[in-house]
Amino acid sequence: MVRMESGLGIPGDGRCLFRSVVHGACLRAGKPSPSESIQKELADELRSKVADEFIRRRTDTEWFLEGDFDTYVKQIRKPQAWGGEPELLMCSHVLRMPITVYMSTDSSDGLKIIAEYGQEYGKENPIRVLYHGYGHYDALQMPLTKTKSKWYMKS
């Protein structure tokens, strides 16, 4: 469990998953947080690459997407289309980085890991995103210090 001090607010514009992932990728690479306009541009670029990755991996992904595959991929290319678990998995492949998804817990203002993607690209220093449970994602920033198996966030 992780104690949360604050998340990094990501606009809820349909791109929040992609914005959170690109924000986390920048932090992971030691780059400064991208401005909102750069974040939006990078999110749209990542979205396009994710759609292409679905097509490249069609035989592996078609069975777990809801509805018709071609319709799904066409829809996910639209900037206002929400992303979810399938898109997080494809993000990990596109970026070749692990992604860890957290969700708030009711106990002592903490977080728990609810999903991990891209473990084949390593397990250290994953991109971290916070899922709010109603379709919104935020970026998480974690320091490199650890105490008693709890990570403490900084804003």
Q: Where are the domains of the chain?
A: 2-151
Q: What is the pLDDT of residue 153?
A: 37
Nearest to 128 by CA among 111, 142, 118: 142
State the catalytic residues.
13, 16, 136
Identify the burial level of 54 via C-beta atoms within 10 angstroms of its C-beta, where 0-12 means exposed, 13-18 middle and 19 or more buried.
buried
Q: What is the pLDDT of residue 51?
A: 97
The CATH number of the structural domain formed by 2-151 is 3.90.70.80
Residues of the chain with pLDDT under 70: 1-8, 107-109, 142-155
Report the predicted TM-score, pTM, of the whole model to 2 decimal places: 0.84
Helices 85-95 & 16-28 angle (0-180, nearest 10): 30
